[in-house]
Amino acid sequence: MACIDVDSLAQYENDAKTGRADALYNLGLAYSTGQGVGVDYVTAHKWFNLAALRGSDEAKSWRNQIATEMDTGQIAQAQKMAREWLSIFK
């Protein structure tokens, strides 16, 4: 897996606003592995969920994998964050 630097992270965040599945997926990777940011499974789940909605099978797999490390409250929080993000950046 390639290392995600701060500049790449900023670009992924910009590209995610346009709904690019690869950018959403890469943000999920960053947050699930702590590349350029701290490890945050709730935020990672949000990004993987959004990428999965855009058709990324890898994102579905990663989302399901990290969900096993989360409790139901964390998953609900991640899903809420994804819905809020979608209400802003459809």
Q: What is the mean pLDDT of residues 57-82?
A: 98
Kindly list the distances between the CA atom of residue 80 and the CA atoms of 4, 22, 42, 67, 74, in Å, as whole numbers in the listed order. Answer: 26, 21, 10, 15, 10
- Higher-pLDDT residue of 20, 1: 20
Q: How many CA atoms lie within 13 A of 53 on its CB side?
A: 16
Q: What is the pLDDT of residue 5?
A: 72
Residue 2: predicted pLDDT: 55
- The 10s digit of each residue's pLDDT in 21-51 is 999 999 999 999 999 899 999 999 999 999 9
With respect to residue 20, please indicate whether it lies within any of the assigned structural domains. Answer: yes
In a domain, 48, yes or no: yes
Percent of the chain with pLDDT over 70: 97
pLDDT at 36: 87
Say how many domains are in the chain.
1
Structural domain includes residue 25 = yes
Distance of CA 3 to the CA centre of its chain: 16
Domain that holds residue 21: 6-88
Domain assignment of residue 1, yes or no: no
Task: Flag whether 51 is in a domain.
Answer: yes
Give pTM, 2 decimals. Answer: 0.92
